[in-house]
Amino acid sequence: MIDVQRLRVLRAVAEHGSFNRAAHALRLTPSAVSQHVAALERSLGTPVVTRSTRGVVLTPPGRIMVGAAESVAAELAHARRQVDRLGTGRTQLTLATFTSGGRLLLPGALGRLTAAHPGTVLHVREHEPEDSLPLVREGTVDLALAYRFDGPLPGRPGRSRNVRWTRLLEDPLRVVLPESHPLADRAALDLAELAAEPWVLGCLKTEAYLRRYAERAGFDVEVRGTTSDYFFARSLVAAGMGVSLIPSIALDPPMPGLRAVPVNPPTPTRHIGVATIDRGHDHPPVATLVEALRERAAALNAA
């Protein structure tokens, strides 16, 4: 029989990329982590990691076992919630969300959840997708309002297989300029037209995304400021520090003295959705909230 604690240790090793970092996260010694992994390998009769001076890498059997570890953790979390509900008579529901998406979509969806499941207590936690999606996989949160740019869901390659992704809406990024800028009155812009401009950006992920698009357009980006707040980034643009690339839903409320101009195709876009574990929709409050978020997103798309 496979020991659940050994699976937990392997999952931490996979998440952190080394025995030492996994040991720190689990509050164990590196030696104890190594012993747990070695014992798991003996029980399976095959290596689950490849060790090197740069850390550890999962073997194909190791990836299978990490997937199993995530499923076990999610099932145990689900069972714990059921036991708690029997003891208290109340359903606890936890949602993780990024700031701008939660502000736009969540308040309009909560009424339906409250009406359909008045005994449900909702907890909201603010997290970026790279943090919230692992919490969904391990069952710490029931669902996550998240986004991705072009490509797979955030996280380690192959780690999204236990996650169901429900698309909600597209969130195109717009170029934000001072209203006195010569290009501020344009109906749309090519990013190449801004090759000589300095940039101020509202998050590190947007910077990485802009650099990829700029490379395709044939120019290098000069970034003069990076913040973790889109409102602050717009304030710096209004002060004349540069231009910015900001998701459409983060442009509310409007800021005087600025113009937001669409980008010609290929348009940089955030894809917003809600993530649950595969069996998450079997939980009625989760299914209700997902459907309410879909309806809210559809109403915004139609507006």
In the predicted model, what is the mean pLDDT of residues 144-173? 77
* Letter string b/e over residues 260-275, b meaning 16 or more CB atoms within 10 A of that residue's CB: bbebeeeebbbbbbbb
**Which spans in the chain are helix H?**
4-16, 19-26, 30-44, 60-88, 99-116, 129-137, 204-217, 230-238, 284-302
Q: Choose the final residue of a domain: 66, 89, 111.
A: 66
- Residues 165 and 285 grouped into a single domain: yes
**Residues 247/234, Cβ–Cβ less than 8 Å:** no
| Type of residue at 262 | P
pLDDT in tens, 5-36: 888 889 888 888 889 988 888 888 988 999 99
**Residues 207/223, Cβ–Cβ less than 8 Å:** yes
| Per-residue pLDDT, 228 | 86
- pLDDT-based confidence at 156, cuts 50/70/90? very low
CATH of the domain at 15: 1.10.10.10
pLDDT in tens, 115-130: 999 889 999 999 999 8
CATH of the domain at 153: 3.40.190.10
Total of domains in the chain: 3
- Residues 129 and 83 grouped into a single domain: yes
**Residues 224/214, Cβ–Cβ less than 8 Å:** no
CA distance 163 to 7: 19
In the predicted model, what is the mean pLDDT of residues 196-218? 88
| Per-residue pLDDT, 264 | 94
Higher model confidence: residue 161 or residue 242?
A: 242
Gyration radius (Cα) of the chain, Å: 23
Higher model confidence: residue 234 or residue 206?
A: 234
CA atoms within 13 A on the CB side of 212: 12
- Residues 98 and 244 grouped into a single domain: no
- Residues 238 and 96 grouped into a single domain: no
SS3 188: coil
What percentage of the chain exceeds 70 in pLDDT? 90
**Residues 95/143, Cβ–Cβ less than 8 Å:** yes
**What residues contact residue 45 under an 8 Å CB cut-off, 6+ apart?**
none
- Residues 149 and 280 grouped into a single domain: yes
Range of the domain at 31: 4-66
pLDDT in tens, 245-295: 999 999 988 999 999 999 999 899 999 999 998 665 568 899 999 999 999
Q: Choose the final residue of a domain: 36, 66, 96.
A: 66
**Residues 68/7, Cβ–Cβ less than 8 Å:** yes
- Residues 284 and 154 grouped into a single domain: yes
161 pLDDT higher than 90: no
From residue 35, alpha-carbon distances to 9, 19, 29, 60, 241 in Å are 10, 10, 10, 20, 54
In the predicted model, what is the mean pLDDT of residues 140-163? 72
Give the per-residue SS3 of 142-187: CEEEEEECCCCCCCCCCCCCCEEEEEEEEEEEEEEEECCCCCCCCC
| Type of residue at 42 | R
234 pLDDT higher than 90: yes
- Residues 14 and 55 grouped into a single domain: yes
- pLDDT-based confidence at 157, cuts 50/70/90? very low
For the chain, the farthest-separated pair of C-alpha atoms sits apart, in whole angstroms, at 70
Which is nearest to 279 in space by CA: 89, 137, 131, 140?
A: 137
- Residues 83 and 111 grouped into a single domain: yes
**Total Cβ atoms within 10 A of residue 196:** 7
Q: Choose the final residue of a domain: 66, 88, 106.
A: 66
- Residues 55 and 78 grouped into a single domain: no
- Residues 141 and 279 grouped into a single domain: yes
Neighbour-count burial of 146, counting CB atoms closer than 10 A to its CB (0-12 exposed, 13-18 middle, 19+ buried): buried
pLDDT in tens, 48-100: 999 877 778 899 999 888 888 877 777 777 677 666 666 556 678 999 999 99
- Residues 183 and 263 grouped into a single domain: yes
- Residues 150 and 78 grouped into a single domain: yes
